[in-house]
Amino acid sequence: MSHDTTAINRRMNRFDGHPSVWLFGYGSLIFKADFPYLERRPASISGWTRRFWQGSHDHRGTQAAPGRVVTLVPDALAVCHGMAYLVTPEEFAHLDYREKNGYLRLATPMTFEDGSRRDGIVYIAAHDNAAYLGPASERDIARQIAGARGPSGPNSEYLLALAAALRALGKPDAHVFEIERHLADFLAAA
């Protein structure tokens, strides 16, 4: 599979004809909303857990030294907390481009804090995409993040902004916070 998923995502027609669509964000989409939206609400999706297992060759790393960013991996008992945005369908051109390094649009139900549910879209980079890096220890992930930087800035900035956003949401994530703890050691030693 090529790194660039834009063309595949354009063919996703699940919400065609809808005047607005809910988008669930669990990574940079929580802390960097560089698109207009009609509404924004904390939300969660079930059956997925957040992991720094996706490579970033275009935003937070390079081809020679990829960074690591989050994707979701299936986990029947897990609930992933994030931020949902109600957007008009036109926004998906920008979103597909932004998430083009291996992420595919997937239709998902999401639950808001008042218990109500809506169907919408989440971008997930599956294990069979070319940029996938897969599991590593939190310490090794932190080491890689400490040394990576790309056109969007240092990889560490992504991790720290995500950890801060999850704290602000009141939704701690042990995997993210453990990597953050190790990153502090690597940055202090540098």
Q: 188 burial class (0-12, 13-18, 19+ CB within 10 angstroms)?
A: exposed
Q: Does 25 bind ligand SIN (CB under 6 A)?
A: yes
Q: Does 173 bind ligand SIN (CB under 6 A)?
A: no
Q: Give min distance, CB of 28 to ligand SIN, in A.
A: 3
User: Is 31 within 8 Å of 165 (Cβ atoms)?
Assistant: yes
Give the count of beta carbons closer than 10 Å to the beta carbon of residue 59. 18
Q: Does 92 bind ligand SIN (CB under 6 A)?
A: no
Q: Give min distance, CB of 182 to ligand SIN, in A.
A: 20
Q: Give min distance, CB of 117 to ligand SIN, in A.
A: 18
Q: Give min distance, CB of 162 to ligand SIN, in A.
A: 8
Q: Which of 120, 103, 112 is nearest to 3 (CA)?
A: 103
Q: Does 123 bind ligand SIN (CB under 6 A)?
A: yes
Among 5, 9, 22, 27, which residue sits at the site for ligand SIN (rule: CB under 6 A)? Answer: 27
Among 29, 80, 159, 166, which residue sits at the site for ligand SIN (rule: CB under 6 A)? Answer: 29
Q: Does 43 bind ligand SIN (CB under 6 A)?
A: no
User: Is 82 within 8 Å of 108 (Cβ atoms)?
Assistant: no
Q: Which of 39, 90, 91, 99 is catalytic?
A: 99
Helices (H) and strands (E) in the chain, counts: 6, 7
**Active site includes 39?**
no
Query: For strand 117-125 and strand 21-25, is the pairing parallel, antiparallel, or unpaired?
Result: parallel
Q: Which residue is nearest to ligand SIN (CB)?
A: 27
Gyration radius (Cα) of the chain, Å: 16
Q: Does 58 bind ligand SIN (CB under 6 A)?
A: no
Q: Which of 123, 138, 36 is nearest to 82 (CA)?
A: 123
Q: Which residues of the chain form contacts with ligand SIN (CB under 6 A)?
A: 25-29, 69-70, 99, 123
